[in-house]
């Protein structure tokens, strides 16, 4: 048998889930996911100044052809883009996502028996004023 040296293996640990609350967030990765006619933008959010907390994955569903949920998907996308200051001109440039920052409320959720953080995307200002 051959021994494989893995420097830092002893220090590897599961990231912690952040307590619910407001955090400074930064998009550190963004890419398109296309699966069987479904298109999403996957973003990875880092909780700034909190290296022990795990990153937050945020998926932005994009409408497809003849999509009954197109209006809702566009609204959710617009909320995210607005919160992170991403320019919209009939669409968005994926390359401008990385480095975009926002203050956001994280809540805890469970996925496959594991706790994780989820971003509660802010409502648009005009909608929030109507409530």
**Which pLDDT tens digit goes with each residue over 69-128?**
999 999 999 999 999 999 999 999 999 999 999 999 999 999 899 999 999 999 998 765
- Tell me which residue of 19, 61, 26, 23 sits closest to 45, measured CA to CA: 26
**Which pLDDT tens digit goes with each residue over 4-16?**
999 999 988 889 9
Mean of the pLDDT values across residues 57-71? 91
**Which pLDDT tens digit goes with each residue over 72-82?**
999 999 999 99
Neighbours of 22 (CB within 10 A): 9
More confident residue, 103 or 64: 103
Judging by beta carbons within 10 Å of its beta carbon (0-12, 13-18, 19+), is residue 105 exposed, middle or buried? middle
What local confidence, expressed as pLDDT, does residue 5 receive?
Answer: 94
- Tell me which residue of 14, 9, 17, 2 sits closest to 117, measured CA to CA: 17
Judge if pTM exceeds 0.95. Answer: no
């Amino acid at each position: 048998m051959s021994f494989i040296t893995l420097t830092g293996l002893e220090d590897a640990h599961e990231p912690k889930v952040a307590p619910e609350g407001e955090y400074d967030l930064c998009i550190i990765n963004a890419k398109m996911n296309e699966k069987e006619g479904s298109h999403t933008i996957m973003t990875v959010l880092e909780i700034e100044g909190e290296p022990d907390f795990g990153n937050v994955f945020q998926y932005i569903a994009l409408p497809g052809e003849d999509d009954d949920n197109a209006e809702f998907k566009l609204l959710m996308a617009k909320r995210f883009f607005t919160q992170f200051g991403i320019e919209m001109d009939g669409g968005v440039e994926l390359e401008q996502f990385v480095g975009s920052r926002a203050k956001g409320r994280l809540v805890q959720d469970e996925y496959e028996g594991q706790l994780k953080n989820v971003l509660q995307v802010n409502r648009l200002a005009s909608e929030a004023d109507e409530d």
